[in-house]
């Protein structure tokens, strides 16, 4: 049985103010991975705090990261881990720390920028934890480096990579120079491997988003999956012949899910770069905008599904998938569910990639931009129903707005009519907006009730492409680039 509801859900944020209360005998249940567990369920059975007593909570302790400084433009998106009574997290300036979870007392803090050669900024969503009988390690990224720390002391593991860190620019099977390569979301641990995606920029000059696995002891790259296929690899034919040497993106920035028993890792990928014009990347562009199931031990492709062919709308997959079990015709089927920015949930057989609900390839509008060849069809799931509205009409414009007439005039000037109306010089309505539908907080799965909870956004955007060949538009481009660099680049590259 499949059931779906719209409800609030987001990652557990480590926000300086942490509230605790007396708990049930199972108070020491760990939260050992980003998203709670390997299946990315984002679910806990702890029930002593509920809607009836949540108003009785009192502050137990407060921990200040000390990162506010002179600028208020800081944030914590970290989903902290709780392991054996220790909280592991990251600060707005990308330091890693460990606290006593019951008191908030600082155990250690690691500052990768302490030598002053680089500065810490941007976003980090958490850390990964690995242990064996002899030791335990924290693996996390700050800027363009992957670090391995002793979980007890916070000191770098000197024999990991180059003195405790690995430069993410290296090992991409292509020279990327100083292009933006980051990893805001922690990788996932499988045995002695850290499987890691990356965050990239989204402009014309972008690194490839290949997925890599590192040995947690040595930092050595053990395998790589080319999300932009190289010659001779499946999917190579869906790109121009030289795309693997020059096109970037198709990166797994959201986090991963892992079926440990089957040894399968599930990676959702983003758009090929640049986001809104694909005249230089004709074809479907596998494995951009895809869910890929890989052998966790080798990186071998088991199956894939592409949600958007030749993406022109920044419809990258916004969150890690959820592993769950559904009942089909009286039989329990292990499945993987993927939410999308368009407000859909796609559900697949975890082993085979077979859709559990019908998906139809339907014709979509073509592009009238010079050099652009929008893909002629796109996949539409017929079930479950979307969790966000799929179109916007004049009737949806706020009738009480003091600028309603201006809004109506603008609405009538642009193109609209569904999910896959191509970008245009005239302006194209994107709804749900660039940030969903589904967003990076993802979905949560309650296995006891068989319910998937999704936080749904609905914000219309207007996408307008501009010919930068004119002097006026070149000046506007320069101004826009400056504004983006100041206000947006810290999060979006």
User: Model confidence over 36-50: pLDDT tens digits?
Assistant: 999 999 999 999 999
- Quick check: 357 and 379 in contact, CB under 8 A? no
Which residue, 458, 409, 404, is CA-closest to 431?
458
Tokens read off for 465? 């492409």
Tokens read off for 167? 């430069």
pLDDT band at 228 (very low <50, low <70, confident <90, very high): very high
d(CA 270, CA 252): 6
Task: List the catalytic residue out of 242, 314, 435, 448.
Answer: 314
- Quick check: 194 and 216 in contact, CB under 8 A? yes
Mean pLDDT rounded to a whole number for the chain: 91
Alpha-helical (H) ranges within 229-313 are: 243-246
User: Model confidence over 276-320: pLDDT tens digits?
Assistant: 999 999 999 999 999 999 999 999 999 999 999 999 999 999 999
User: Model confidence over 113-167: pLDDT tens digits?
Assistant: 998 888 788 889 999 999 999 999 999 999 999 999 999 999 999 999 999 999 9
- Quick check: 48 and 21 in contact, CB under 8 A? yes
Residue 223, pLDDT above cutoff 70: yes
Q: CA Rg, the chain, in Å? A: 23
Residues in the chain: 493
pTM greater than 0.85 (yes/no): yes
Burial class (CB in 10 A: 0-12, 13-18, 19+), 318: buried
For the chain, the helix, strand and coil percentages under 3-state DSSP, each to the nearest 5:
10, 30, 60
Q: Is 238 helix (H, G, I), strand (E, B) or coil?
A: helix
Among this protein's residues, is 111 annotated catalytic? no
Please give the full DSSP string across 366-379, using - where no structure is assigned.
PP-STT----SEEE
What is the structure's pLDDT at 3?
A: 38
What percent of the chain has pLDDT above 70? 92
What is the structure's pLDDT at 339?
A: 98
Residue 452, pLDDT above cutoff 70: yes
Which residue do the tokens 């690899």 mark?
233
d(CA 50, CA 21): 12
- Quick check: 81 and 126 in contact, CB under 8 A? yes
- Quick check: 95 and 65 in contact, CB under 8 A? yes
């Amino acid at each position: 049985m499949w059931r779906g509801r719209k409800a609030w859900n987001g990652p557990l944020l480590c926000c300086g103010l942490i509230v605790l209360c007396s708990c049930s005998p199972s108070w020491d249940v760990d939260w050992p991975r980003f998203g709670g567990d390997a299946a990315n369920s984002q679910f806990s059975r702890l029930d002593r705090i509920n809607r009836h007593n949540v108003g009785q909570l009192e502050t137990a302790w407060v921990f200040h990261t000390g990162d506010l400084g002179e600028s208020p433009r800081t944030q914590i998106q970290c989903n902290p881990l709780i392991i054996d009574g220790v909280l592991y997290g990251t600060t707005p300036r990308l330091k890693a720390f460990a606290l006593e979870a019951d008191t908030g007392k600082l155990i250690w803090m690691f500052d990768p920028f302490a030598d002053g050669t680089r500065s810490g900024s941007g976003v980090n969503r958490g850390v990964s934890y690995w242990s064996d009988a002899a030791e335990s390690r924290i693996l996390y990224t700050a800027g363009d480096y992957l670090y391995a720390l002793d979980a007890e002391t916070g000191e770098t593991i000197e024999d990991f990579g180059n003195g405790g860190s690995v430069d993410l620019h290296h090992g991409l099977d292509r020279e990327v120079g100083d292009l933006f390569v980051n990893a805001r979301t922690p990788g996932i641990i499988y045995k002695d491997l850290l499987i890691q995606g990356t965050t990239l920029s989204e402009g014309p000059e972008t690194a490839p988003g290949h997925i890599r696995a590192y040995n947690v002891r040595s930092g050595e790259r053990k395998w790589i999956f080319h999300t932009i296929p190289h010659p001779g690899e499946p999917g190579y034919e869906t790109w121009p012949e030289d795309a693997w040497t020059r096109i970037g993106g198709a990166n797994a920035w959201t986090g991963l899910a892992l079926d440990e028993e089957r040894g399968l890792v599930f990676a959702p990928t983003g758009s090929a770069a640049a986001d809104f014009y694909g005249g230089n990347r004709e074809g479907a562009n596998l494995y951009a905008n895809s869910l890929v199931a890989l052998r966790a031990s080798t990186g071998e492709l088991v199956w894939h599904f592409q949600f958007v062919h030749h993406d022109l709308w920044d419809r990258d997959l916004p969150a890690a998938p959820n592993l769950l079990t559904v009942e089909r015709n009286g039989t329990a089927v292990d499945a993987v569910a993927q939410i999308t920015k368009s407000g859909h949930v796609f559900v697949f057989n975890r082993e085979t990639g077979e859709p559990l609900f019908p998906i139809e390839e339907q014709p979509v509008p073509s592009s009238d931009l010079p050099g652009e060849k929008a893909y002629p069809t796109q996949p539409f799931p017929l079930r479950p129903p979307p969790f966000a509205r799929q179109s916007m009409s004049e009737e949806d414009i706020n009738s009480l707005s003091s600028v309603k007439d201006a809004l109506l005039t603008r609405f009538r000037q642009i193109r609209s009519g569904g999910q896959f109306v191509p970008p245009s010089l005239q302006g194209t309505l994107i709804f749900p907006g660039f940030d969903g539908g589904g967003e990076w907080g993802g979905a949560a799965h309650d296995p006891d009730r068989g319910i998937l909870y999704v936080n749904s956004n609905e914000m219309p955007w207007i996408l307008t492409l501009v010919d930068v060949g004119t002097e006026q538009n070149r000046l506007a481009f320069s101004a826009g680039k400056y504004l983006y660099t100041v206000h947006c680049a810290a999060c979006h590259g």
